[in-house]
Amino acid sequence: MQDDRFGRVVHALRRRLGLRQSDVALRAGVPQSTVSRIEHGALDRLQVGTVRAVAEAVGSTWEPAVRWRGGELDRLIDERHAILVGAISKRLAAYGWDVEQEVTFSIYGERGSIDLLGWHAETRQLLVVEAKTMLASLEETLRRQDVKVRLARRIATDRYDRTAAGVSALLVFPDSSTVRRRVARHAAVLDRAYPLRGGQLRAWLREPDGRAAGLMFLSSIAPDDGGRGRGARTASQRPVRSRARGVRPPPIARDDQRWDRRDERRQPGASDRPGR
């Protein structure tokens, strides 16, 4: 949506609700001048969270859209997501889980798709796996996985005739510095929602004991790396090192004044020695 059109929408919704700009500002926790700027379509220097808060204050939602070469952007995102799902699927299978991919559901008016639904036959544990290539909206991520966890027992019974003893949750991200920074920014919430990490999470996946919720960073090969994996660089991108530290390069044999001056400081007859 264009900035000016979004501004007109906010203005129309505010008037429909009978609110003043100051009322919207109070609801959104922003200055009144910010509401005025948004209604005039001046969004260029505002934070995403600020714009979203104002939209919610008038009973709407604001989702920015990115456009790049038509449908190619969707294929790029889907490919990265598919690679991440495939990587975690192999990891879970190695830990002894039976894994179903892209499990769709429509129950009680709730519709969606579970990225991975794991089943541990020995302990009769279900695992709802949500794979995210990026943490865009924390609230939306938590809400969607909560719905899937709540419905997973019914889904397993209806589709696979499996009666689960417990349902657990796993949130998986690709291991990159950008994703880690965003997760760390929301650590206060994510640490409570997904307390299992690292070695404790891997131990639980090998031998699940009761309900759990964990967060995992998984190293995977991204399609835009050219198949080289995280952090890999081509030969042309690698820094060229002329020599190791502390090692002088061999002298270039040439007859110029610089070498002549060096020869003058030698002992008499040194220049006549063999090999000089």
Q: d(Cα 266, Cα 244) in Å, to the nearest integer?
A: 29
Question: Are 219 and 232 a contacting pair, CB within 8 Å?
Answer: no
pLDDT value at residue 234: 36
> pLDDT averaged over the chain?
81
Residue 220: pLDDT band with limits 50, 70, 90 = low
pTM listed for this prediction: 0.58
Stronger pLDDT, 212 or 72, i.e. the higher one: 212
Q: What integer is the mean pLDDT of 176-203?
A: 93
Long-range pairs for 107-112: beta carbons < 8 A, 24 or more residues apart: 107/151, 107/154, 107/155, 108/151, 110/147, 110/151, 112/144, 112/147, 112/148
Q: What integer is the mean pLDDT of 142-159?
A: 93
Whether 24 has a pLDDT exceeding 90, the answer reads yes
**Is CATH 3.30.1330.40 the classification given to domain 72-222?**
no
The residues with which 213 forms a beta bridge, in sequence order, are 169
Q: What integer is the mean pLDDT of 145-151?
A: 93
Q: How many CA atoms lie within 13 A of 210 on its CB side?
A: 1
Residue ranges covered by each domain of the chain: 3-57, 72-222
pLDDT value at residue 237: 43
Q: Do the first three CATH levels of 3-57 and 72-222 match, i.e. the same topology?
A: no
Whether 244 has a pLDDT exceeding 50, the answer reads no
Among the four given CATH numbers 1.10.3720.10, 3.30.70.1450, 1.10.8.640, 1.10.260.40, the one describing domain 3-57: 1.10.260.40
Q: Which one-letter DSSP state was computed for residue 251?
A: P
